Structures are given as structure tokens and as C-alpha cells.
């Protein structure tokens, strides 16, 4: 639109000049024979005045128009009368006296409000997402996201990376989640998978001499949705040749810190601390520790080695441990709270129970106190630095479970006692994750990261003898208790890769069928390489201060995995299935997962 100014940019500097603005009717009121409209675009609102004596046609139009109509107006900018200024708006000292007005679009009664205060149900917001996107908060989030991604691209370019698009119809990727599959028409009974990540292709780019690859890559994983998980999400995906961990860390620290600064005005200092996985689990009971507050776990097994307290003793006899957490100020917690909410948190992570003691007037109180000797109590108080007014919580049992469940209690305590400082961003690297994990039910060994991850050089021997003890050359970025991404150095030696496949229980034939093309590529001069993938949605969520990634994705799915706006997923037509050689099993529900809803009723 010729000469159009953005609404939010009309200020006192424009006093006396003519402007053209266009946007949505945010608010309308009549006062003293005049009609006032706040016109909005994504930059803000500007006040329009319609005076019947000066411009009768425009005034008549203004009287007719309703909320969210789209207008183009023209007129001189003038100071608002004294006393009617709004110091909270950049445009608050001026108004446009409209002498020409055109309606560009009409709106029916709005199904949802578009101001930030509106608290519509999320399902309704997503049903009318195109209206929800008009809200200043959504506009701010999407624009911050754009700046963030742009900044990542700029820095990647400066660092010598090139963006390469990898295919989105591929064979299955071994990232450990369920694939979304696309049936093939030309090959009935065969499927493509949507990539869980561009992992294999980016490694092939390295074999292809591309050296420094990156991609703002869409990935798909068929998992249950959560606040920070969607079926499809976007990763900053990277791979580099001839690097070690230090070089990879340097690149990511530079990219992410610069992009956080440019997009969110959040200063992120570097380098980031590095914490081996085993230490993170020991100190925080989590592989994504929130390090904005201390309150670390203590292994107090040695204190209770000869305890007469059955619960502790039993755990230790079975090779487990006793973990303790000092909760400053916790003496105010009631028994109901500790045995209700707090116990529930511990149980969610597998703990059988949560023991606790209060500290008042120099001694411990609580049901378990009578089972603990004076020496044990004194040793505990000394080790944890217990003071009057504290509470000590314990978990006992298999060490991994005792730690993760008390780690969850630690986070719960932090929220309950408001220990988490606002406006702080604690980035860190978690390193040396285990290479393998064992499914507790099937006993099967699987990769913690993916099967192309290098074992720690000191642990190669253990791959055959004690795979669960093998550390890997993999690493995660964690910030404020959120895992933002992970990566690793890769195996490029076919014999070593074969050993890993074997440890994973993959027969040579199966490995050949699934990954033969990669193994074959590695026979022709693979450079050593490694990489990383970081979740764009999660990083933007943190950067703009949201608590779910749905607030930073233009068109997300609901938590139950549907799209109420388009009414999808939709039932499939028999002809469509026949074309790709498929037939629905009779047990399948013919109903769509989400009832279709008309867009604008």
C-alpha cells in the first residue's frame, strides 16, 4: 500500500504531517459527538478521530464498523488534547484526524478476543489460530522466533557453515522414537518414513566433503505430546568434519549466545560449564539439572551402613543407596504436604517412599527419628549442614531411582520455596552420557543417543564385556532444567560400527539392510566428524518466557495430537488406501481423532 505507515510508529515527531495507516479495529468508542477508533497492526495501535463536521462520510463509516474490521485511513497527525494522552503507548501523545477512510475487510462477531488478556481455552484458540495469531503476544513470539532463526543462520554463515536441505521421505532414522510413515504407491507394501532427524544424511554430507553443514530442519517423531513436545518440531541441525568436542562446543556456544542476545536481548555468557552425566545424576538427580539454585543431593549411604532403620538397611543390602536432600525452611512443611504432594512427586519417578525429618530446636523430629541413632543423626546434620527450620528428605533404593526421584523432589521444593531466580539463564553441557541403556522389561540393550555415537576411547573394551558401563562421546545442552539439544562424535570405522551393532543385538544382515548405505559410504574415505541438534521451539520458548512450545509455533497440534482448526487427522478414503495397497484393520476406529469443526461458525 503506497505510503503506508505502521500504526505503532506514528509519534509526536509526525505532528502536522499527513499519514496513511491500515489495520484492524481494536477498539471503538463515541465521545462528545466524535468517534474514536484504535487501529492496530503488529507494531501497535494508533488513535483515529472521526469528526462528522470535518469528514461526514468517514464518520458515518466509522460508526458502522465493528471490531476487527480492516480499514485504510488517511489524515493529519495532531497532538491529543491535554489530559487525554496515554503515556504507556509510543503513539499515546498523538491522534490521526481521519478525512478519508476505506473498509478493506469486514469481520463477523469474533469467536475469540484478540487482546492479550483473553483467557480462551487452548482448544478454541487453536481452532481459530488465525485470529489467535493477531494477539500481540503471539506476534511478539513469532517475530522473536524469526529473529532467532535468522541470527542462527547469520552466525552459521559467518562460521563457514552451509545450509543443505536433506530429504523428508527417507528410510527410518534410529533416534529411538516411533516413525511417521508414508505408504508408497509405486511400491505397494513399502513405506517411507518422515525423518526423526537428518542424522544419516548429514553424516553422508561429511563423506561428501561438505565439511560444515547446518539446516533449520523439520523433524517428526510419533510420541505422546507434552508441553515441550510436538509431533513435528524444528531443529538447528549441524555436522562438522575434523573436529573434537571442544570445537563443536565453541561453535554452538557462539551461535546460541549471539542469537539469544539478538533475538531476545538475553545476555548469555560463555564458555558454558561442563558436567559429566554421572556427576549431574549424583548432585542433582537429573541429566538436565536446573543449576539456577544449589540444594544438591547427598549420598548418605555410608552414614546408614549399619542402620537399624529397615528401609535404609534394606536398600543398602540390595546394593542400592540412601539419598538425602536438605530443604532450608522445610520445617514449615506439614505432614500432610510431605506425605501428599511431595511423596507423589517422588513416586512418579519410581521411589517407593519419601522419608523426612524436621529440624527444630537443635534436634530432629518426625516418625523415622526413633529409628536413627544419635551418631547417625549427628553425622547427617554435619554432612548436610542442617539448621533449625530445615527439613531433610530421603529416598532409598536402586541408586538411579533414588536419585531421579529425589531430583524431582528438589525441583518441587524449589518451586514451593521460590528458590529459582527470575531472568537467569544457566546454560551447561552434560557430557559422557552412557552409550547404551537396558530396557527394564525386555532386557534389550538400546542406544541412549543413536548407534553412530562413539564410545569414550577408554571404554572400547567394555562394549563387549559390560556395555551398560560404557560412556559415550555425546553431550547435551541444558538450560534452566530444559534439555535443548544433543549431539556426539560419530563412529566412522566400519569395524567399530559393526561392534556397536552387535552389542545392540543387530545381526550383520539386519545392520546391512538398515544401514548398509552408510557403512558402504564409510569405506570410501570418511572424515572424522561430529555434530549436534538443538530444538528451535524449546530455545524460543525459553527466550520469550513461555512454558509450552505451542506458544511459539504458528500452527501446533493440541496436546491430544489433533488440529481443531482443520479437523485433522481426517479419516482416510478407501480409494486412497487402495491406491497405496492398504486396507484398514476392522478394529480401527473409523472416527477422526478430533471432530471436524467449521472454521468460522
The secondary structure of 265-290, three-state, reads CCCCCCCCCEEEHHHHHHHHCCCCCC
Going by the DSSP 8-state scheme, the letter that residue 158 receives in this structure is: H
Instruction: Pick between residue 399 and residue 486 the one whose CB is nearest to ligand ASP.
Output: 486
For ligand ASP, give the closer residue by CB, 175 or 279. Answer: 175
Considering only the stretches 314-322, 360-368, 530-538, 589-597, report the one whose residues sit in contact with ligand ASP under the rule CB under 6 A. 530-538
Please check whether residue 99 is in contact with residue 54, taking contact to mean a CB–CB distance below 8 angstroms. Answer: yes
- Please say which residue, 349 or 501, places its beta carbon nearer to ligand ASP: 501
Q: Give yes or no for residue 44 binding ligand ASP (CB under 6 A).
A: no
**Which range, of 284-292, 454-462, 482-490, 540-548, touches ligand ASP by CB under 6 A?**
482-490
Please, which residue, 213 or 356, has the CB nearer to ligand ASP?
Answer: 213
Q: What is the dihedral of CA 178, 180, 183, 187, to 10 degrees?
A: -60
Q: Does 201 bind ligand ASP (CB under 6 A)?
A: no
* 451 binds ligand ASP per the rule CB under 6 A: no
Q: Is 236 helix (H, G, I), strand (E, B) or coil?
A: strand
Q: Considering CB under 6 A, how many residues would be counted as binding ligand ASP?
A: 9
- Of the pair 221, 557, the CB lying nearest ligand ASP is at 221
Indicate the SS3 state at residue 168: coil
Site string for ligand ASP, 489-508 (x = CB under 6 A): --------------------
Residue 345 or 521: the one with the smaller Cβ distance to ligand ASP is: 521
Q: Strands, E, within 348-426: which ranges?
A: 355-360, 363-365, 391-397
The interface with ligand ASP within residues 402-431 (CB under 6 A) comprises none
- Min. distance of Cβ 531 from ligand ASP in angstroms? 4
Q: Is 214 in the site for ligand ASP (CB under 6 A)?
A: no
Residues in contact with 354: Cβ distance below 8 Å, sequence separation at least 6, in sequence order:
338, 339, 342, 343, 346, 347, 393, 394, 395, 405, 409
Q: Is 12 left (phi over 0), alpha (psi -120 to 50) or beta?
A: alpha
Q: How far is the CB of 492 from ligand ASP (least distance, A)?
A: 14
Cβ atoms < 10 Å from Cβ of 517: 12
Max CA distance (Å), the chain: 95
233: contact with ligand ASP by CB under 6 A: no
For ligand ASP, the closer CB: 531 or 543: 531
In the list 127, 166, 197, 472, the residue contacting ligand ASP (rule: CB under 6 A) is 197
- The verdict on 531 binding ligand ASP (CB under 6 A) reads yes
Indicate which single residue of 431, 486, 548, 558 sits in contact with ligand ASP (rule: CB under 6 A). Answer: 486
Say which residues have a Cβ less than 8 Å from residue 208's Cβ, sequence separation at least 6.
Answer: none
- Between 91 and 447, name the residue whose CB sits nearer to ligand ASP: 447
Q: Quote the least distance from Cβ 199 to ligand ASP, whole Å.
A: 4
- Closer CB to ligand ASP, 312 or 532, in the complex: 532
Question: Is the CB of 213 or the CB of 304 nearer to ligand ASP?
Answer: 213
Instruction: Judge whether 254 and 159 are in contact, CB under 8 Å.
Output: yes
Residue 532 binds ligand ASP, judged by CB under 6 A = yes
- We find the least distance from the C-beta atom of residue 504 to ligand ASP, in angstroms, to be 16
Q: Using the 8-state DSSP alphabet, how is residue 226 labeled?
A: B
488 binds ligand ASP (CB under 6 A): yes
* Closer by beta carbon to ligand ASP, 91 or else 474: 474
Stretch that binds ligand ASP, among 59-67, 258-266, 392-400, 481-489 (CB under 6 A): 481-489
Cβ-contact 385, 320 below 8 angstroms: no
Of the candidate spans 110-118, 313-321, 334-342, 483-491, the one that interacts with ligand ASP by CB under 6 A turns out to be 483-491
How many Å is the Cα radius of gyration of the chain?
A: 30
175: Cβ–Cβ under 8 A, 6 or more apart, which residues? 196, 197, 199, 221, 450
Nearest CA to 518 out of 565, 574, 451, 470 is that of 451
Spatial distance between the Cα atoms of 128 and 566, rounded to a whole number of angstroms = 10
CB of 466 to ligand ASP, least distance (A): 24
Q: Are 490 and 519 in contact (CB under 8 A)?
A: no
Dist CA 45 CA 88 (whole Å): 12
* Shortest spacing between CB 533 and ligand ASP, in angstroms: 4
Q: CB under 6 A: which stretch of 158-166, 301-309, 517-525, 528-536 binds ligand ASP?
A: 528-536
CA distance 266 to 260: 6
Q: Are 254 and 587 contacting, i.e. CB atoms less than 8 angstroms apart?
A: no
In the complex with ligand ASP, which residue's Cβ is closer, 173 or 377?
173
Angle among Cα 241, 244, 250 to the nearest 5 degrees reads 95
Residue 573: Cβ within 10 Å count = 9
**Number of separate helices (H) and strands (E) present in the chain:** 17, 24
Q: Which is nearer to ligand ASP, 196 or 405 (CB)?
A: 196
222 binds ligand ASP (CB under 6 A): no
Verify binding: residue 199, ligand ASP, rule CB under 6 A: yes
Of 170, 346, 533, 536, the one binding ligand ASP (CB under 6 A) is: 533
- Of these, 487, 543, 556, 564, which contacts ligand ASP (CB under 6 A)? 487
Contact 52, 94 (CB under 8 A): no
Region 129-188 residues binding ligand ASP, contact defined as CB under 6 A: 175
Identify whether 200 is preceded by a cis peptide bond (ω within 30 of 0): no
C-alpha span between 594 and 492 (Å, rounded) = 45
In the complex with ligand ASP, which residue's Cβ is closer, 151 or 197? 197
Candidate ranges 89-97, 181-189, 333-341, 526-534; the one touching ligand ASP (CB under 6 A): 526-534
**230 is a contact residue toward ligand ASP (CB under 6 A):** no
Burial of 508 (0-12, 13-18, 19+ CB in 10 A): exposed
Q: CA 438, 536, 414 angle in degrees (round to 5)?
A: 65
Provide the minimum distance between the beta carbon of 217 and ligand ASP in the complex, in angstroms, as a whole number: 9
> Residue 197 or residue 558: which is nearer to ligand ASP going by CB?
197
Q: What does the binding site for ligand ASP look like in residue numbers (CB under 6 A)? A: 175, 197, 199, 486-488, 531-533
Amino acid at each position: 500500500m503506497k505510503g503506508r505507515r505502521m500504526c505503532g510508529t506514528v509519534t509526536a515527531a509526525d505532528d502536522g504531517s499527513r499519514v496513511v495507516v491500515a489495520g484492524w479495529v481494536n477498539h471503538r468508542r463515541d465521545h462528545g459527538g466524535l468517534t474514536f477508533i484504535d487501529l492496530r497492526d503488529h507494531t501497535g495501535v494508533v488513535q483515529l478521530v472521526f469528526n462528522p463536521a470535518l469528514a461526514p462520510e468517514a464518520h458515518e463509516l466509522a460508526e458502522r464498523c465493528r471490531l476487527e474490521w480492516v480499514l485504510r485511513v488517511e489524515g493529519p497527525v495532531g497532538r491529543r488534547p491535554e489530559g487525554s494522552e496515554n503515556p504507556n503507548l509510543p503513539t499515546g501523545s498523538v491522534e490521526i484526524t481521519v478525512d478519508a477512510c476505506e473498509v478493506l475487510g469486514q469481520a463477523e462477531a469474533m469467536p475469540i478476543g484478540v487482546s492479550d488478556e483473553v483467557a480462551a481455552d487452548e482448544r478454541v484458540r487453536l481452532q481459530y489460530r488465525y485470529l489467535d495469531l493477531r494477539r500481540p503476544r503471539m506476534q511478539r513470539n513469532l517475530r522473536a522466533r524469526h529473529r532467532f532463526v535468522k541470527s542462527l543462520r547469520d552466525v552459521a554463515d559467518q562460521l563457514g557453515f552451509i545450509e543443505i536441505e536433506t530429504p523428508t521421505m527417507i528410510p527410518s532414522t534410529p533416534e529411538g522414537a516411533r516413525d511417521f510413515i508414508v505408504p508408497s504407491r509405486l511400491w505397494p507394501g513399502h513405506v517411507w518414513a518422515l525423518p526423526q532427524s537428518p542424522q544419516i544424511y548429514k553424516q553422508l554430507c561429511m563423506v561428501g566433503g561438505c565439511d560444515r553443514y547446518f539446516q533449520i530442519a523439520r523433524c517428526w517423531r510419533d510420541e505422546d505430546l507434552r508441553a515441550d513436545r510436538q509431533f513435528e518440531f524444528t531443529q538447528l541441525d549441524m555436522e562438522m568434519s575434523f573436529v573434537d568436542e571442544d570445537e563443536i562446543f565453541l561453535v554452538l556456544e557462539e551461535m546460541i549466545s549471539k542469537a539469544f542476545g539478538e533475538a531476545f536481548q538475553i545476555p548469555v555468557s560463555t564458555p558454558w560449564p561442563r558436567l559429566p552425566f554421572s556427576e549431574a545424576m549424583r548432585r542433582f538427580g537429573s541429566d538436565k539439572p536446573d543449576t539456577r539454585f544449589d540444594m544438591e543431593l547427598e549420598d548418605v549411604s555410608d552414614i546408614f551402613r549399619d542402620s537399624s532403620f529397615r528401609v535404609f538397611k534394606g536398600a543398602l543390602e540390595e546394593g542400592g543407596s540412601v539419598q538425602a536432600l536438605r530443604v532450608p525452611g522445610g520445617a514449615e512443611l506439614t505432614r500432610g504436604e510431605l506425605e501428599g504432594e511431595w511423596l507423589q512427586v517422588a513416586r512418579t519417578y519410581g521411589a517407593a517412599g519419601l522419608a523426612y525429618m524436621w529440624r527444630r530446636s537443635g534436634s530432629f523430629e518426625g516418625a523415622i527419628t526413633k529409628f536413627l541413632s544419635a551418631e547417625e543423626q549427628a553425622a547427617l546434620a554435619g554432612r548436610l549442614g542442617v539448621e533449625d527450620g530445615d527439613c531433610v528428605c530421603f529416598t532409598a533404593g536402586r541408586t538411579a531411582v533414588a536419585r531421579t526421584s529425589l531430583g524431582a523432589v528438589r525441583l518441587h521444593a524449589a518451586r514451593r520455596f521460590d528458590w529459582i531466580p527470575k531472568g537467569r539463564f544457566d546454560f551447561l553441557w552434560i557430557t559422557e552420557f552412557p552409550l547404551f541403556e537396558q530396557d527394564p522389561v525386555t532386557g534389550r540393550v538400546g542406544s541412549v543417543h543413536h548407534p553412530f555415537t562413539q564410545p569414550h576411547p577408554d571404554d572400547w573394551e567394555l562394549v563387549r564385556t559390560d556395555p551398560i558401563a560404557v560412556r559415550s562421546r555425546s553431550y547435551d545442552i541444558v538450560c534452566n532444567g530444559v534439555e535443548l539439544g544433543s549431539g556426539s562424535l560419530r563412529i566412522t570405522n566400519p569395524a567399530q560400527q559393526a561392534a556397536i551393532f552387535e552389542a545392540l543385538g543387530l545381526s550383520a544382515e539386519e545392520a546391512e539392510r538398515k544401514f548398509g548405505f552408510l557403512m558402504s559410504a564409510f569405506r570410501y574415505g570418511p572424515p572424522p566428524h561430529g555434530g549436534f541438534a538443538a530444538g528451535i521451539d524449546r530455545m524460543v520458548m525459553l527466550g520469550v518466557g513461555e512454558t509450552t512450545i505451542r506458544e511459539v509455533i504458528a500452527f501446533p497440534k493440541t496436546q491430544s495430537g489433533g488440529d481443531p482448526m482443520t479437523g485433522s487427522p481426517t479419516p482416510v478414503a478407501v480409494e486412497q488406501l487402495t491406491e497405496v495397497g492398504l486396507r484398514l484393520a476392522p478394529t480401527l476406529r473409523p472416527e477422526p481423532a478430533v471432530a471436524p469443526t467449521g472454521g468460522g461458525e
